[in-house]
Amino acid sequence: MKKILVPIDFSKTSEYASKVAARIAKKTNATVYLIHLIELPKGVIDMAASSKFSIPESMLYLRKIREKVLRFKENLFSEDINVEYFIKLNNPYEGIQKYADKINADIIIMGSKGHSELEEMIIGSNTEKVVRNSKRPVIVVKKDSKKFKLKNLVFASNFKEENKEVFGKFVDFAKTFDSKIHLLKVNTPAHFQATSETKKNVKEFITDFNLPRHKINVYSDISVEKGILNFSEDINADLIALSTHGRSGLAHLFTGSVTKNLSKNALKPMFTIKV
């Protein structure tokens, strides 16, 4: 892992994402690229062309933003971490994708509120759009992980063939940090499968992979999302990994409702990769 892209808007959640990025960068010797995107009013192509902005006012505004980015950088990153920054006039979602491609980022780390209704966090939000469409892994951070580490990672899945490519990328990530992978299948009353059959399916799923330390877990709960959350709490997981489909919603794991509820309630960092 060489390049980490972190979109920032100076909010607390973008600070939390930056702290996670700093810890990962220190471990991997990666460069962190901070990007602050300024979305212009609809119909305005250039600040100077708008009647609301004069050239001196535009330059002053951009200078203040630059000073704010530099303070953000100094406050969140130590001198031994290589940090670059961009300030761009762009729609946030489009800008994140564009500059991820430009620098060929290995991963995107973003903050997200997730404190109340689902709409506040993912419906139509830039975070949701990036997660749903990014061809790169995305880590979504919702709280300040002061002792963030990557010792215990949960990969929750139905372990079907379509998730093998995603799993391969996740395994590469886990190996970088010498993490233990907890392979998780949640059993529910509505969709019950015998433990022996589940473990057989998971073993077949991982046959083609050279896994680091790992454990197969079958966990019973009243719903898949509750099972993922409760299991992650039980083992004090550092991160939850899910696959996402571009066609619908954040981390569409088993049904749409599963990950909507999970995304709303989970405060642990979530690692998502598009199927």
Q: Would you list the DSSP string of 86-118?
A: EEEES-HHHHHHHHHHHHT-SEEEEE---SS-H
Q: What percent of the chain has pLDDT over 90?
A: 41
User: What was the pLDDT predicted at 45?
Assistant: 45
Is the model's pLDDT at 107 over the cut of 70? yes
| Extents of the domains making up the chain | 3-117, 152-274
Of 43-57, 88-102, 233-247, the range with the lowest mean pLDDT is 43-57
Q: Tell me the backbone φ, ψ of residue 38, rounded to 5 degrees.
A: -105, 115
The pLDDT score that the predictor gives to residue 54 is: 55
Q: 155 versus 45: which is more confidently predicted? A: 155
Cα–Cα dist 107/135, whole Å? 10
Give the CATH number of domain 152-274.
3.40.50.620
* Of residues 27, 117, 99, 36, the one with CA closest to residue 73: 36
Tokens of 100: 């991820």
**pLDDT class of 269 with cuts at 50, 70, 90:** confident
- Looking at domain 3-117, its CATH class is alpha beta
Q: Which two tokens stand for residue 137?
A: 């892994």
Is pLDDT larger for residue 164 or for residue 40?
164
Which one is predicted more confidently, 155 or 62?
155
Q: What is the pLDDT of residues 169-198, one digit of tens each?
A: 899 999 988 899 999 999 988 888 899 999
Do the domains 152-274 and 3-117 match in fold?
A: yes
Q: Helices 256-265 and 224-234, interaxial angle, to 10°?
A: 40
Q: Is it the case that residue 129 has pLDDT exceeding 80?
A: no
Q: Return the minimum-mean-pLDDT range out of 21-25, 53-57, 62-66, 208-212.
A: 53-57
Which position has the higher pLDDT, 113 or 170? 170
pLDDT of residue 111: 86
Tens of pLDDT, residue by residue over 205-251, are: 999 898 989 999 999 998 888 898 899 999 999 999 987 765 544 44
Residue 43: what pLDDT? Answer: 47
Which stretch, 8-17, 39-48, 105-114, has highest mean pLDDT?
Answer: 8-17
Report the SS3 class of residue 239.
strand
pLDDT score at 181: 96
Question: Residue 267 pLDDT > 70, yes or no?
Answer: no
The kind and range of the H/E element at 272 are strand 270-274
* Res 113: pLDDT: 66
**Alpha-carbon span 275 to 266, nearest angstrom:** 21
DSSP 69-91: HHHHHHHHS-TTS-EEEEEEES-
Closest by CA position to 109, among listed 211, 230, 13: 13
- Residue 34 pLDDT greater than 90, yes or no: yes
Q: 122 to each of 82, 127, 192, how far by Cα in Å? A: 31, 7, 30
